[in-house]
Structure 1
Amino acid sequence: MDNVGMVMWCELLMGPLIKRKAGRALMVWENCGPHKVAAVREVFASWNLEVMELPLKMTDLLQVMDLIVNGPLKAAVRRRRALTLFNFFQQRKSMRLAATAEKKALPNFKPPAPKLTGAL
């Protein structure tokens, strides 16, 4: 999310929530450039939103969404892709052996294209 998006998010969602609930809040997130811009920090301060960042290069270890959602999802996508490719190469090997034994032309090499929807 860019600087403008951060300000809009705070002005439209987080700020009113803070005002309605506790009057102030603390948010901990990763070290992303748009989060550190002075204008964004000023908007956060105007809504009593204090921001702290995770230590550098620790997002994948400390950020909850990466640990609980993104990490397992990405692992599942990689597993599915690896299995798809493994099956393709096993089938291709069988087809090549059969073509060689029958003295036919070898099959064309066309691995399956990666698809996000196929992994979910």
Structure 2
Amino acid sequence: MTIEQETLLRIQQKLKQQIKMLQMEIAQEYNYRIMKSQNKLQPRLRQRDRWTADEDKLLIQQLQIHGIKGQALFNIPTKSSNQVYYRLRYLKQVYLQQKSVHEHTKYDQTIDLSCFKLFCGDY
């Protein structure tokens, strides 16, 4: 094989790989749009809407200090007050599910949600 043939072969292989990757991306987007059109899809979370375990721990600590009525005093630097409110609602639901079902949830078990027993009637 000559150098030109080897080069052409390498280029052809790279192009085939890129085509496969593009086909996979197109298929994923197609499936996403089908699921979205059938309302079977949870909305995609933007990166800034995702909560890390550290942010959750900070939120729980502030909840224990200020209580649920002191939400205005909560200071999570990367989150807005609206995001804090909705995260508290979500954590309360997780707590109630753990309490009633006693089964492992997908939620990070390292965070103690027992402080919610004091606040379950406050929403």
Structure having the higher helix fraction is: 2
Query: Structure 2 length normalisation: TM-score?
Result: 0.30
TM-score, normalising length: structure 1: 0.31
Q: Could you say which structure has the larger radius of gyration?
A: 1
